[in-house]
């Protein structure tokens, strides 16, 4: 008998919904705008309706859905099913499940979107061979999740924040209010910040040409494109970025001993110019007592679908 699960990935821009089968395959997907300035009640109503629409698109009935999982971009108390804070939505202390279940009368599971992505990669993506992994998402900030024995680790129920691991005491200010967080050094925002600093010291850098002389056009892709073309300034930027990202990953690995580390986010499209030096940096820093203790650092496979697939798996994993 086929089993189907509904996943909803709530973002500040889009609401992504999808149906997965018991092989963890996404068989239908639907995307609508969030219109985040509206009330939580209105957004939740749209989420529920979008879920019904994608079930119809999958050619099944609502009775075929075993459960619904929902990933949210913010702090979630998964024990009480309360969204404590979702800054992109301006939500605070939202008692989500009763509002959602006015539209769907089946089991509903709630969690953080980065946790959803981590779970998806274990069941259906780059970490299929592993039970215990760390996932980091490198974007405007640094998110992440830990999966142990194929289950999300939520600690005391509030999830984890690996991006706010302190790697430099009294270091760069972070958006969270602290200083020296991994996010302040390993996010794409941090990469661009440091790139602009270095570019002012290297006026002949290829980066100036690639961004048409407009520093506001600098992005991760341009930096790695310049590295591939042998640009010295770009190499300095990436070397510094890898140093801090590697230190953060090594610290997490020393504490948690994962079988693999999965990295997601657009910057990971750089491929070997990022992953080769990063693996070397982590290997030089990780604490070893013998052979085989260096976890591979792998690129996430599921892209924008990870949040949907992983949310649908909340009730399983």
pLDDT tens, residue by residue, 114-161: 999 999 999 999 999 999 999 999 988 898 999 999 999 988 777 788
Over residues 162-192, the pLDDT tens digits come to: 999 999 999 999 988 999 999 999 999 999 9
Closest Cα to residue 32, out of 50, 18, 19, 20? 50
- pLDDT average, residue stretch 28-50: 95
- CATH of the domain spanning 4-125+305-312, picked from 3.40.50.1220, 3.30.160.60, 3.20.20.450, 3.30.420.40: 3.30.420.40
* Topology agreement, domain 4-125+305-312 and domain 133-300: yes
Q: What angle do CA 8, 155, 73 make, to 5 degrees?
A: 30
The CA distance from 173 to 210, in Å, is 29
Q: Which two tokens stand for residue 54?
A: 């994608």
pLDDT of 257 > 90? The answer is yes
Per residue in 98-118, pLDDT tens?
A: 999 999 999 999 999 999 999
Band the pLDDT of 45: cuts 50, 70, 90. very high
- CA distances to 109, 188, 245, 271 from 217, in Å: 40, 13, 23, 21
pLDDT at 79: 81
**Beta-ladder partners of 147:** 133, 152
- Sequence ranges of the domains in the chain: 4-125+305-312, 133-300
133-300 maps to which CATH number? 3.30.420.40
């Amino acid at each position: 008998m086929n089993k189907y699960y509904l996943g909803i990935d709530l973002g500040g821009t889009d609401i992504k919904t999808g149906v997965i089968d018991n092989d963890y395959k996404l068989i239908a997907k639907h995307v609508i705008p969030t219109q985040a300035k509206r009330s939580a009640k209105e957004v939740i109503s749209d989420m529920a309706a979008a879920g019904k629409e994608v079930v119809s698109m999958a050619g099944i009935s609502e009775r075929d859905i075993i459960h619904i999982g929902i990933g949210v971009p913010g702090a979630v108390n998964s024990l009480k099913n309360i969204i404590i804070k979702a800054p992109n939505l301006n939500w605070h202390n939202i008692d989500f499940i009763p509002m959602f279940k006015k539209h769907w009368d089946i089991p509903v599971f709630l969690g953080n979107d980065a946790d959803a992505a981590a779970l998806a990669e274990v069941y259906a993506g780059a970490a299929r061979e592993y039970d215990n992994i760390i996932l980091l998402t490198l974007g405007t900030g640094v998110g992440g999740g830990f999966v142990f024995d194929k289950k999300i680790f939520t600690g005391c129920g509030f999830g984890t924040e690996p991006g706010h691991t302190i790697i430099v005491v009294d270091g760069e200010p972070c958006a969270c209010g602290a200083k020296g967080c991994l996010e302040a050094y390993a996010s794409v925002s941090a990469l661009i910040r440091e790139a602009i600093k270095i570019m002012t010291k290297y006026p002949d850098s290829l980066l100036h040409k690639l961004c048409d002389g407009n520093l506001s056009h600098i992005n991760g892709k341009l930096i790695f494109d310049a590295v591939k073309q042998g640009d010295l300034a770009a190499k300095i930027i990436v070397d510094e970025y890898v140093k801090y990202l590697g230190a953060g990953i090594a610290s997490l690995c020393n504490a948690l001993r994962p079988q693999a580390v999965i990295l997601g986010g657009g910057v990971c499209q750089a491929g070997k110019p990022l992953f080769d030096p990063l693996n070397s940096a982590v290997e030089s820093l990780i604490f070893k007592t013998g052979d085989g203790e260096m976890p591979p650092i792998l690129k996430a496979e599921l892209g924008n679908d990870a949040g949907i697939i992983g949310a649908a798996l909340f009730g399983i994993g």
